[in-house]
Structure 1
Amino acid sequence: MIYVKFYSKSGDRIKYHKSSSIWSGIKFAEPIAKLFIGWIIGNGKMINFWRDTWATSIPL
């Protein structure tokens, strides 16, 4: 779906603005949802920044 929206039929990325039908809903919900978004890493007592896996399957 994203490929169809942002690429031409020849496979080139479009170079002009396309509006989004869902962006207004995201902007409306952002102030409410932002209060409840955060990171939970393990139990929070012992965190190793370099060796714990954060957003990937391998550590930094």
Structure 2
Amino acid sequence: MITAANMKDKFMEMVKTMDMSFSYKPVLLKAMLEHVDENGKVRIEDIVDYFIEFYSAVRSKE
């Protein structure tokens, strides 16, 4: 069960065990870390914008 007290530990545990190859997860983590506020929240709009910018940059390098 996830509670406010163990939320950070549960998240870090999940990050350590997830398969990151061929995945959007590393980009999601970068977006979250860049846009998280002082309460640990991230706006969906910021995540979407980060994805658009990230993958646009990748495509322009090809």
Pick the structure with more helix per residue. 2
TM-score (norm 2): 0.27
TM-score (norm 1): 0.27
Max radius of gyration: which structure?
Answer: 1
Which has the bigger relative contact order, CA under 8 A and spacing at least 6? 2
